[in-house]
Copies of this chain bind each other. A is one copy, B any other.
Amino acid sequence: MTELISVAAAADLIARHMPDFGSERVGLVRAAGRVLRQAVRAEHDQPPFDRVMMDGIAVHWQATPPSSYPLLGRQLAGMTRQSLASEGGCLEVATGAMLPLGCDCVIPVEQLQREGEAYRLINGYQPARGQFIHPRASDCRAGAELLNSGIVLGAPEMALLAANGYASVEVGMVPSIAIVSTGDELVAVDAPIGEGQIRRSNDIAIAAALRQHGLDRLSLVHVADDETLIGDTLARLLAQHDALILSGGVSMGQRDFVPAALAAQGVHRVFHRIAQKPGKPMWFGVGPRGQAVFAVPGNPVSALVCAIRYVRPALLAAMGMTVPAPEAVCLDAAADTQPSLTCFVPAHVQSDTHGVLRARPVPARTSGDFASLPHTHGVIELAPASGPAVAGSVATLHRW
C-alpha cells in the first residue's frame, strides 16, 4: 500500500507532470470559448477617429450658442471626413460617424428643432465643448497590448479580436481524450440490465464536465475486468490519445487491474491514493509519450469529484489557460470533517442579498449516492480538522 499524499500535493504533482498540448491557428468564429495562446495588439487607434456618439449635429462650440445653426452638410457613418465650411453652421451627424473637420461639439437630435435649412436649440439647451465625441485613441493606441495569452475567449474578447482585424488567432489545442470505464458489472444505457449490474454513467458524467469547458475531443470506451483485454485496450488508447481518464479498478481489490496494467504499458506512476474522501484511490501517471493518465475510482461521486478537482483544471492549464482560483463560499450549516482526510461535500450554492455566496452542504450518504447531486452546484473542499466545519466558516467551492 502506498502512502497517502495531500490534496495540494496531488494537484501540484499533476501540474508538474502535465504535457503542453500546444496551439493551433483557427478562424475567428471558431475561436469562441477557446484559450488564447498569443498576444493581441490594437490594429489601429481605438476609436480610429474622433467618433460621433449621438445622432444630431456637429458644430464649432461657442461660449454663447447662436440662435440657429445653418445646415451645411451631412456626415454619416462610413463616410470620409467632411468639413464645416463656416464656423457658425452645422453638419448633420450620425452615431458612429467621423467628427467633421472644424467641429468640436455634438448636439443630440433630442435637443434640436429643425427650421427650414437650419437647426435651433430647444429650451435654452447649453452644449458643452467636446460633448458626445469619443476621441481618437482614447480607448487605446495602435499597437497597445489588448489581450494576453491564457484568457478564455468570451464575448468581450471576441469583440476585440474582430475589431482589430484578427481573422484567425492562435489558441490552445484541445487534447484528444479517452474516457475508459472498467467493470464487469457495467452495462450500456440502452442494454437490458441483469441482476448485480448497473448502467455505465461515470464516462457520461465526466464527458459532460469536460465538454462544458470546451474539451470536446472525447472517446468513451468500456472494458471488462480482464487483464489481457485491459492491457490491449490501454496500448491502443495510449497510441491514439493525449490523455486517458480511467474510472474503476484502482482500489486495493483483487480485480483492480488498472495500476498494474498501466505500469505494464509503460505508464510511469506519479502517485496513487490521496488523503481525501471520497476519491482516496485516485491514481495519476505519465505515459511513454508524455500522455497524462488519470485513474479515478468507480464510485460515481468519487469519480466526478476527482474529475472536477484534478483532471479538468489540469487539462485546461495544459491547454494554456490561466485557470482562475476557486471561489470561496460561506457555509450555511455545519459540515463533517475528518482528522486526516480532506473532505469533499456536495453543496447547493446561492448568493444572498448581501452578496455572500452561501453553500448548503448536501452530504452524499455514500460515494455511490448521486441521486441528490442534481440539486447541488459543486463540492466544497474541507481541509483535515479535528472538529466539524461550523456554519459561517469559509470553504473552497469546485463547481461541477
Contact = CB atoms under 8 A, between A and B. Distances in A.
A356 interface: yes
A351 interface: yes
B373 A355 contact: no
A193 to B, nearest CB: 7
A342 interface: no
B328 A353 contact: yes
Given A44-B193, A356-B356, A400-B155, A95 B204 contact: no
A374 B146 contact: yes
Tell me the number of copies of this protein. 2
Interface in A294-330: 297-300, 304, 307-308, 327-330
A101 to B, nearest CB: 12
Contact of A255 (B94, B359, B376, B394): B94
A183 B205 CA distance: 45
Contacts of A208: 32-33, 153-155, 157-158
A329 B351 CA distance: 8
A109 B253 contact: yes
A129 to B, nearest CB: 16
Given A78-B196, A255-B76, A351-B329, A205 B158 contact: yes
Interface of A: 1, 28-29, 32-33, 42-44, 46-49, 51, 53-55, 76-81, 92, 94-98, 109-110, 134, 138-140, 144, 146-147, 151, 153-167, 183-186, 189-190, 193-202, 204-209, 211-212, 220, 225, 248, 251-256, 297-300, 304, 307-308, 327-330, 351-359, 365-374, 376, 394, 400
19 contacts: A29-B220, A32-B208, A43-B193, A53-B367, A55-B253, A77-B225, A78-B196, A92-B254, A134-B366, A134-B369, A138-B369, A155-B212, A155-B307, A157-B208, A160-B373, A163-B199, A330-B355, A355-B357, A356-B356
